[in-house]
Structure 1
């Protein structure tokens, strides 16, 4: 069966010059021109560092993207995931034709609507209503087509009271509501959505994800979705691309893509950089792994859950000499749970190199949680890290009823039975 390819990226690369506005100095521009008239390649394409923000590098040039190739079929929802700085937003800007690639080209069939940053494509001096018509015109729609969708756009955005007010007076949440409604309802063949949906409240995020599902499944249009919310990516997308340092590191179905991303990122290296760290440093946490039933599986309500800590222990201190606690907080900083080795039977006498805590049936509802760690050696604080890391829990059938539990009701889930007499 022949594939219906609607979008194709061929050898896309994007080079930037660090610390400069534009592509470089006059001498560099003259050098490019001199090579061009002689029919030779741009000399600066042969230099430049890989896009790794954690290293200093040796060149003024950096490849934000390098040799990106992929295809997207009509009606597909493609999730693009990766760490901050991996090149996701740069790729979407090229796909949306906001910026041009240094090399390579994009082939698309149909109109592309993008939602990249709050207020992108909006004129702050114009009203919400005027911006709807402006965006529609940019997409190539007639005034009659836009007018036929106007009421739906305004109703979905929830901004009816302010629709004739200049957009510069909107909050960021209101702006993104209207921008998403415009992008979704003006019927582009390809909808490109960046992390911007995170600005909206929970109710709007749910509406937006539902609308994107309708767009792809019901209307057969294509969606490219970038998010750090793995639960949203898992629910919405059919296929995934994992980006790392400006290149595609993995491509596959969405479940395996998420697992690959998490397995590569479940070791958190940020402990040594954390400014809110106290203690004498006799023992320090160096990395942590957070996973569900096995390494690389996203934590899920009702399923096994693991947190494994690795320690730097130059004095060879043994496990029974330490007290190790960690607390789990919600996004408001409220304590949800406290876990400690001190409430368990005394551990065997072994040198402390790692500790792995297991919860057989995770009773946290879906959402994002933050962890603070506390390590004590012979009653003296050794390593205390506030908000050391965070982890995400996805929805699961905790009660085995085939129903999911709404996370607005509570963060904790309780095992209970209904007794009928």
Structure 2
């Protein structure tokens, strides 16, 4: 028997994206009618979600796959789970695979939780007697016993994840593939899942592929890591080495602080200069932010003038990994006017509860005095947000369902 669990050679996946030609504007109905008689005049673009990926995973290894949003992580897992086919290259899987890629993966919405446990086991090639032997353990781990005979379509996303993970981990797969979906569960259940994956890998000798933005969880669980960016394999090495490469590649310094050196591109008059940016959480410097915590960007500003400068506006824009502007800050919005003394000054841009979901973001800073630009640093600092506690029950939206989190309340009003 080979000791290779997964072998990937020259793997690639592309999609065809259509774009309307620039300046082309037609009525929607006219578009549809014209499309019946004449091919669409849109331009086609080939987008490679994965390109020339090569790696090998041994039996019993726990491997973390990391990278920014859009790096190709989920596409890779879908190919290895045989949900989608590659466009080029080949891969070989030696062993029974159980995947948890999306909430309720592999569940039939009309069937009950009980029926879905047996359905999933059958799909994995297990006999009814084997499933029955594991049944009580699955139900106990999931904590959904009360709703076991309720159709899954009535489950909350958290309940689906609980049952789906329990089924995926307990029905004796030789290879367990788990995406960021665990972030949907509460903090206690996430910890329970990580413990189970650790046990499956280290104690039972099974192979685990784990995609997550939570560097702490990945580092604790996985010995080896794979870093993807823009569909390409950047690093395949020890987990610690891969995480450091990830942080360095996107300016995610281990100290959570960036010193603005003279070689960094900046615009403006220069009487005021931003010297450093530091991540602060609960009054302490940190390497990354966690969802829901009291957080701040600590901005160090040098006043090169010989006297205090008034009417200062410090603005900050935060973009996601795709370059979409998430939010904008300015002390003009809060009507706070700062006087910066000669020499070094520090301003904290504060969050009472950090509202961003898991991912990598970039910070743009803009500093003016009396409306004149003194310093402008575009996308100068990348920072990472990891999973945390925003709502008291520890639950978070499923991956891709939200970009920012908000305080919320529901109130029933009856006549």
Same-fold call, TM cutoff 0.5: yes
Q: Which residue of 2 aligns with 1:140?
A: 125
**Residues 335-393 of structure 1 deviation map (CA, whole Å, 9 limit, x = unaligned):** 44574548xxx76669xxxx999xxxxxxxxx9899999865447696899xx975358
Residue 219 of structure 1 aligns to a residue whose secondary structure is coil
Q: Is the alpha carbon distance of 1:103 and 1:368 closer, same or farther for their aligned partners in structure 2, counting shifts above 3 Å?
A: closer
> Is the strand fraction higher in 1 or 2?
2
Kindly indicate whether the alpha-carbon contact (under 8 Å) linking 2:277 and 2:297 is maintained by their aligned counterparts in 1: no
Once residues 165 and 248 of structure 2 are traced to their aligned partners in structure 1, the CA distance between those partners, rounded to angstroms, is: 32
The verdict on how the C-alpha distance between 1:340 and 1:249 changes in structure 2, with shifts beyond 3 A counting, is closer
Which residue does 1:209 correspond to in 2? 194
1:313 alignment partner, one of 264, 267, 280: 267
Aligned partners of 2:345 and 2:201: how far apart in 1? 41
Q: Match for residue 12 of structure 2?
A: 13
Residue correspondence of structure 1 range 224-373 to structure 2 within 5 A: 224-266=209-251, 290-293=252-255, 305-309=256-260, 312-319=266-273, 335-336=294-295, 339=298, 341=300
Q: Distance in 1 between matches of 2:254 and 2:277?
A: 21
Contact 2:257 2:277 in 1 (8 A): no
**Shift of residue 60 of structure 1?**
2.0
Separation (CA, whole Å) in 1 of partners of 2:291 and 2:3: 46
Asked if 1:391 corresponds to 2:375, the answer is no
1:28 maps to none
Contiguous gaps of at least 5 residues in structure 2: 20-42, 283-288, 307-343, 347-356, 388-393, 395-415
Alpha carbons 1:6, 1:72 under 8 Å: kept: yes
TM-score (norm 1): 0.63
Q: CA deviation at 1:146?
A: 0.4
Q: What TM-score do you get using the length of structure 2 for normalisation?
A: 0.64
- Map of 2:336 onto structure 1: none
Q: Which 5+ residue runs of structure 1 have no aligned equivalent?
A: 21-57, 267-289, 294-304, 358-366, 395-407, 409-421
1:155 aligns with 2:155: no
Separation in 1, partners of 2:186, 2:7: 33
1:373 and 1:83 mapped to 2: Cα distance?
A: 18
* Residue 170 (1) aligns with residue 170 (2): no
Larger RCO: 1 or 2 (CA < 8 Å, sep 6+): 2
SS in 2 for 1:314: coil
Q: Give the direction of change, closer, same or farther, for the CA distance of 1:107–1:325 in structure 2 (3 Å limit).
A: closer
How many residue pairs are counted as aligned between the two chains? 305
Structure-2 separation of matches of 1:192 and 1:323 = 40
The answer to whether the 8 Å contact 1:306/1:356 transfers is no
The whole-number CA distance in structure 1 between the counterparts of 2:117 and 2:213 is: 28
CA shift at 1:219, angstroms? 0.1
Distance 1:177 1:7, change over 3 A: same
Task: Give the RMSD, CA atoms, in angstroms.
Answer: 3.8
Match among 95, 98, 105 for residue 113 of structure 1: 98
In structure 2, what is the Cα distance between the partners aligned to 1:98 and 1:393? Answer: 28
Structure 1 residues 173 and 390, CA gap change in structure 2 (3 angstroms):
farther
- 67, 70, 78: which one pairs with 1:93? 78
Q: Which residue of 2 aligns with 1:401?
A: none
1:124/1:384 Cα in 2 relative to 1: closer, same or farther (>3 Å)?
farther
Task: From the superposition, tell whether residues 327 and 3 of structure 1 become closer, same or farther in structure 2 (CA, over 3 Å).
Answer: same
Distance of 2:125 and 2:87 partners within structure 1: 27
Q: Contact 2:290–2:385 (CA<8 Å) still a contact in 1?
A: no
Tell me the equivalent position of 2:331.
Answer: none
Asked whether the 8 Å contact 2:49–2:72 carries over to 1, the reply is yes
Kindly indicate whether the alpha-carbon contact (under 8 Å) linking 1:326 and 1:374 is maintained by their aligned counterparts in 2: no
Question: Match for residue 4 of structure 1?
Answer: 3
Deviations 1:196-216 (A, max 9, x none): 111111111101110000000
Deviation of the 1:101 alpha carbon = 1.3
